[in-house]
Structure 1
Amino acid sequence: MAIPRFWPRTLRWRVFLLVSGLLLLLLITAIATTVSRVHVTEADSRVRDTLRPAQTAAADLAKGYVDMETGERGFLLSRDPQFLEPYDNGSAAVGAARDRIARLLDGEPESVALLADVDAAGTAWRTQAADPAIALARADGVIADGVPGKALFDTLRTRIAELQNHVDELISAGLASSNRASGTADVIATVCVGLALVLGAASVFLLRRSLVVPLDRLVSQVREVSGGDLRREVEASGPEELAALGEAVEAMRTRILSEAEQVAAASNRIARLEETDRIARRLGDTAIRRLYGITLDLQSAAARFPRSGSAMATAITGIDRTISALRTSVYGPAAPGTRPTLRAQVSEVVGELESVHGSAPGLVLAGDLDDEPPDDVVAEVVQVLRDLLHAVAVPGGGAEEVELAPARGAIRLRVVGAVSDDQVAALRAAVAEVSGDAVVRPAPGHFTVEWSRPLRPDS
């Protein structure tokens, strides 16, 4: 199953999306249930506080009219005023019940209209039948058979029945609405619970596929690497946080492997150097040292006798080539496509002085020299350093400190040493022959030679 495209890349957003979905379902369930329960409560309250009392009042209204009609019939038959008591009590009950119904059903046009019909039928029965018959009976008159009392009361009874039926229908409708709202709340809650279960199951599946599986794979790979299998690549997959962790572990593995190879190479170089030292101890004062001493002597003589400078330079060049050939014979040829680093070559040039004179100037390598300059820059820097060390080797002085540092897109070389005042001019001339860009800054008993080379031709 492919993960949908809208599935976020980061773990925090995936968790946020799943939690938000669950919270949204919970919120919808809570809102729907609350609205339904409020509707149920309102419907029940209306039935309990309005419609049920109205139903009771309608029954009281019907009973009151029945009492009035019974009292009227008894009085008309017996002419006994005591039979009018139910009539009067019924009249009072009718008025109270009518007012209560009007108050409870106020605002409902149909109920008000039905109540008005009852009032009209009751008034017609009283004014056209009951009250005239009672007045005639009190006057000992003869009641005619044509008085429409029964028909009017039947009409009144019909209107009261219609009102009662209407109230019963309102009660039934209220109860049905309450049941429907309660059922709707239950259905919504059930659907939301089902959706929550589906979302939970999908969340477990998606999190397992996009988090648990990549995390288990990463842990397994890291364990293999920590167990010593540095050749085991660490794959970066899963959410962005997990992928970033995998990339960091892979970078660490690559760096450890590279450093291990460098340590192995360094061990090989140390073994070769130890063998070379053993050979050097056997050879003693080798031809390389003697030739290098001759080179320094020729450089010093060229500084004292400028006219012989060209001849001396030719001789020095030939000796340097001889030294290079001897060094290749002793140390072996360099591996194809590789060369010593700038740091190593500078250290070697400075170390040559110690091999000849028994002491060497201090070496200061400042700044970041881990990024190797181009080959032509390295070659020029090494050659200029070697020539400057030869040039400043004047009688009564010499180099005391060599500093090499990158500075603003260039390699800066500085040589500090001691010189007598009468040798300053010769030192300037020797340095000028080495490089016209070198600057000599003399001081009482000391000198500073500064030279720089841009890392790029356009710098």
Structure 2
Amino acid sequence: MGSARQRSTGLVDELQSSHRFTIGVLVSVLVLSLFTSGYLILVSQPRLTNYVELAREARDVHEAMLDQETGLRGWLATGDPIFLEPYTAGRAASAASVSGLLSDVKSSPDVTDGVVSMLLARQRWESWASEAAAMRVTPAQRTDGTLARFLLDGKELFDAYRERDLVSTSAIRDHRTQALTRQTEAMVAVLASYLVLLAATAAITMRRRRRLQAALLAPIEDLHMTISRIRTGDLSARTEPTTVPELAEIGNALGELAATLEEAEVAATDREIRLAFLANRFETVVRVGREIAGSLSIRYVSSTVTTAAAELLGTTTTLWLRGEDQGFHAVHRSTDAHGAPAPSTLVPPAVVLSAATGAVPVSTDSRRAYPLVLAGTVTAVLQVETPVVDDDTDQVLVSLLSTAAAALESAHLHSTARELADMDGLTHLPNRRRFEIDIDTEWERCRRYGRPMSLIMMDLDHFKRLNDEHGHLLGDQVLREVATAVNGVLRSTDTAYRYGGEEIVVLLRETGLEDAALAAERLREAVSVIRVVEHPQVTVSTSAGVAARHASMSHYTGLVSKADKALYEAKRLGRNRVAVDGDGGLGETLFRGSPGPSPVTPT
């Protein structure tokens, strides 16, 4: 027993001694590493980096100077201003590089004199360069030697700069080489120190290993064999008794571990199945989230979410969306084709209305409903044809519906904002912004495929008089009546826009000038029969200008300009008529309608 205690005490002492030795080695390595890193980071590398940056900036200055010198010689030789472009670019680049050079040279006083000397020579040459850039060389100066002398002066100044540049650049490179050499020498010294420390550590470690091997080899090998057998599935493996208390305690712990591994193995298998199930479900949530995150279509988002929920639950699902009337309407069922709307005759069941009212999931005997809540408001409800959902699937479904609520609201807001941005609030016609987008697209299509396109510019006659005499409310009513009348006679392929004020522009696709003139006359007639019930004495008429696209037009603004000029021609000739642009292909100006009484005025 005394022998066992002595061996136990020896083992503890050996382990503590090994620990102290390891700590000593680590401290030595740490001190050496800190010293090396400190020298490299704080001294060597900044110095080397500074010289490298100085060399790069000096090179950039010289390349910029060469660009200036080349450009100026071309300018003085030819008088062509295009040669001043490299001079101007080189001057800007040189100034930027000089700024960096002056900033970095402060950290390297050993090359300051050379750099400053080079910069002074550069400054003298650039003074000459500024004078050269401003010169306008005359033929007399080219023949009497004035230009040659001026160029000679510039060459002497540039040669002086080049000589000092070579000196400063050489000094920078020499110091950079010296810094690199010192860094290399430091690295070699550190490497040698590491090798010495490694050799000493190896020698001491081998001696201590021989001492520990005698006391620990057999018990540790037995422990290793026992662990290997347990690892391969032999849970009956046990260690042999040992007189080393620490190793005996480890052996007992292994025995207890083997006894509990069988229970843990069964639990781990169940947990793995559960995790795989959850991972598969959350993968569906992530996939659906990516699909609907960038979509601005309510129908697409609804179809995707409803289908994904049906896959998660293994049952039929229906998505009910809150409408403008605050009622719930079915937008998609999982049994419908993707993107197909649900029948409008569906009525929300009580479970859906209950979930919407309480903003919490609700179940009945045959189905369950999940509210989609955003900012405290139920925006939609998902109906599932099963009353019971397990907790894991329920959590996954809630995550999916949280993403869906945000996506549906985003799509709804986008649809509303798009409608407001493109629609005139008074006439409910597309506005000028929508017109410019549409005509630009149509113009490119017609230009690419050589198709016809025409434009009608309409302006209500004497509309200001109507507003002054009867008020703006009547004027607004007239504008709405005109918009309705115009839309009533247009083809489905044509579009009318409120261009501004009382002006309406009509885009006629696939239409030549003659057909456009006929369409304008139909519009004029439709407007002329408008009568305001409250003011039967008020008549309405319009003047219209028609133009068609032709090959000489480079942009759609040319077409708009032609139609606008034709409109003013119709007004000049008495209003209540159609004027056709003569350059569009007919070769003459046509007028339709008759002057009649002053339109948009009391009779």
TM-score range, shorter chain: 0.3 to 0.5
Which has the larger strand fraction?
2
